[in-house]
Structure 1
């Protein structure tokens, strides 16, 4: 038998092979496949050339398989069934039976507040699904979605091409976290009080201002940043041990107040529009029912979360 380059083989030939084997007659095989008898004969001729074997020989009014055809029919049928199952699974996603790994690009606030309820739902409805949460620089988000490196990204509203689809998850306000015994906690709270304290800035970037700093710059103001760190949990522990203030998403502050003692909040004394959080995915993924199913879970279970950076 010749060495076969699969990329050069019409897989429909094996559908014809299976039909001939099952029917034992080229005419009936053609009727089953809704093809003409010459088309079936031509397909069989191509298979005979590939395998260098007749595959079927005349037997009465029909045909009988050769020893080679009998030897390969089981593997051919198994392969066809696997392909059919793959196509069926792609069209009808069953979360309970799915085995899939999804990757979400998210910031640490979302990991803390959204992943627990999301994983609880996945364990109940789709125990075979695995989720990876990673951090992707915003400049790389679209290329990561296009290449399949990530399936989703959750971030603030960003400019993207028409190849990237997105859905709003809500809006987020910023608040200021401090210790209950902080000097500012019992005094008049305004912009002067905010600027009179020292601050923690959370950012994955090595330098550059935060959202609130842009607003302050427009007012000709600068705050005193004592610490710049990469995640909010570390920043909250610093706030607990020091007199520093932390400006953070209200949803994460609410989470901290429910779970831990030793914190209090004040509204941000700046006129800032709320931050919009969006879920992003590539346009081609909209044809994948598994991705769309997980999108529904994310949008249902991920209330407005800021990913301020």
Structure 2
């Protein structure tokens, strides 16, 4: 958009002005948004036209419309300003009480649904302006459990995620790990399911099952547990997340393995019965991961500490 010669006479405020006029399609409304006079906005548009050698915005009886070149430049300008705002936000001293940053946490929904409510309660008290985005994470089919979460680590390194909370025990050395709490799996089913009256391995294997799988792959970690015992089951349905599973199970004869603390919080809301599995389905730790360079960002470190506090409280509460 700007060559090296142009940069010597460019003003970043002109991009802010461009964004406001493009969004508002009106000089007066853009002036109000920027807290400038309409004449100041008009003067800025004149400078922008000379800089770009283009009309940029054309007057109409109802306001202004962007030129073809302005339409093409709009997403580029939005990206530039987003990056600049990110740099400024990270450079400014972090004050949770006044910060309006938005940070993204990735986790399986069976995990985020457990830590999110207490985390939001903490933020409401300590950092009411901070916004949180939750990204759904589920493992990729891999024989090595930790490799199943390689996508989460890639998202952390790309900056798509600020923190990932996943049941991975290990990570490359370039990541910091914080253990939040420990978890295992229980079964949820409709009340009166035949398994409840004969909760043994035979009845379990004879039942039909629902598996939570983002990819739709019906083979889950439970199948690996059964295979080690020379057993198998029939997977009748896959769905992409645990909450969807809880919405489906009450009207079916399906069994579904879900995290214990998730089941304790949400199974009653869906009218589901909870039972222990007839054989251990695995015990794991929920760990929060961030790239080590991100620990230099006071906001990310602050949020990681809050997750650690929330996880400690969850870990001491009976599921």
Scaled by the length of structure 1, the TM-score of the pair is 0.65
From 283, 288, 308, give the equivalent of 2:297.
288
Structure 1 SS opposite 2:151:
helix
1:197 equivalenced with 2:198 (yes/no): no
1:258 to partner: Cα distance = 4.6
Give unmatched runs, 5+ long, in structure 2: 9-87, 140-148
User: Per-residue CA shift, 1:259-303, capped at 9, x if unaligned?
Assistant: 34x321111112344022110001011122211111111122243
Taking the aligned partners of 1:195 and 1:208, their CA distance within structure 2 comes to 15
1:118 alignment partner in structure 2: 119
Task: Tell me the equivalent position of 1:39.
Answer: none
8 Å CA contact 2:183–2:285 kept in 1: the answer is yes
Secondary structure in 1 matching 2:222: helix
- Are positions 1:239 and 2:240 aligned together? no
Matched residue SS, 1:173:
strand
Cα deviation, 1:195-229, whole Å, max 9, x if unaligned, reads 12111111112215211111111112111111111
Instruction: Give the Cα separation in 2 of the matches to 1:87 and 1:296.
Output: 18
In the alignment, what sits opposite 1:157? 168
Q: Relative to 1, partners in 2 of residues 1:265 and 1:254: Cα closer, same or farther, differing over 3 Å?
A: same
Alignment map for 1:105-144 (pairs within 5 Å): 105-136=106-137, 138-144=149-155
Instruction: Determine whether 1:279 maps to 2:288.
Output: yes
Could you say if the C-alpha distance between residues 228 and 256 of structure 1 is closer, same or farther in structure 2, counting changes exceeding 3 Å? same
Equivalent runs, 1:38-57 vs 2, <5 Å: none
**Runs of 5+ in structure 1 lacking a partner?**
7-84, 305-309
Considering only CA atoms, is the larger Rg found in Structure 1 or Structure 2?
1
**Is the 2:210–2:256 contact (alpha carbons within 8 Å) kept by the matching residues of 1?**
yes
Helix, strand or coil: the match of 1:294?
helix
User: Could you tell me which residue of structure 2 aligns to residue 98 of structure 1?
Assistant: 99
In the aligned structure 2, how far is the partner of 1:153 from the partner of 1:217?
30
| Counterparts in 2 of 1:87 and 1:143: CA distance versus 1, 3 Å | closer
Query: Hey, what does 1:224 align to over in structure 2?
Result: 234
Query: Can you list the C-alpha shifts for 1:104-138, whole angstroms capped at 9, x where unaligned?
Result: 11111123222222222212221221111113562
In 2: Cα distance, 1:154 partner to 1:233 partner: 17
Count of aligned positions: 221
Deviation of residue 237 (structure 1)? 2.3
The one of 171, 183, 194 aligned to 2:182: 171
Judging changes above 3 Å, is the alpha-carbon distance between structure 1 residues 140 and 297 closer, same or farther for their aligned structure 2 residues? same
Residues 236-275 of structure 1 mapped to structure 2, 5 A cutoff: 236-260=246-270, 262-275=271-284
Contact 2:165 2:289 in 1 (8 A): yes
**Contact 2:183/2:286 (8 A) holds in 1:** yes
The 1:112/1:86 distance shift into structure 2, 3 A limit, reads closer
Cα distance in 2 for residues equivalent to 1:242 and 1:291:
43
Change (3 A) 1:112 1:235: same
The CA distance in 2 between the partners of 1:183 and 1:161, in whole Å, is 45
